[in-house]
């Protein structure tokens, strides 16, 4: 890591890009080992579809960034599809408002994971995402 000059490390602990075909199973034991050995901020790619409790638990164990681009793009496309089905062509300002609301709604859930009370207070979560002060 020192040789490359990287400032964060994306790890694979059961996560994957895109939509999951089944429920993802994050390997928290592997995350703990990596976090213990690596002082860099850790990144979790493929956050779309990972349950909120698992994301919060991963954050409490050292994940500093969660990528959820697939869900954000899905919200964008869904808003576009719905708007074009329900509205005549012309003024796009209402569409932009609807689009922003859809993307903001998708992003808000993940932002809440980074500001969960248990994380802000310094309490660690157990392997099931439950806070133990």
Task: Write the pLDDT tens digit of every residue in 31-82.
Answer: 999 999 999 999 999 999 899 999 999 999 999 999 999 989 999 899 888 8
Contacts 24+ apart (CB under 8 A), 55-58: 55/110, 55/113, 56/113, 56/116, 56/118, 56/119, 56/125, 56/129, 57/26, 57/28, 57/125, 57/126, 57/127, 57/128, 57/129, 58/13, 58/26, 58/28, 58/31
pTM: 0.72
Domains defined for the chain, CATH in brackets: 9-127 (3.20.20.70)
Average the pLDDT over 17-43 and give the result: 92
Which of the two residues, 103 and 113, has the higher pLDDT score?
103
Q: What is the pLDDT of residue 85?
A: 82
């Amino acid at each position: 890591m020192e040789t490359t000059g990287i400032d964060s490390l994306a790890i694979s602990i059961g996560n994957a890009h895109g939509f999951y075909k089944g429920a993802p199973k994050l390997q928290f034991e592997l995350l703990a080992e990596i976090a213990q050995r690596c002082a860099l901020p850790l990144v979790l790619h493929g956050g779309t579809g990972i349950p909120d409790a698992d994301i919060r638990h991963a954050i409490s164990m050292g994940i500093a960034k969660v990528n959820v681009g697939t869900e954000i793009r899905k919200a964008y496309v869904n808003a576009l599809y719905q708007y074009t089905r329900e509205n005549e062509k012309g003024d796009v300002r209402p569409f932009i408002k609807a689009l922003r609301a859809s993307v903001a709604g998708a992003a808000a859930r993940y932002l809440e994971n980074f500001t969960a009370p248990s994380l802000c207070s310094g309490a660690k979560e157990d392997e099931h995402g439950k806070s133990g002060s």
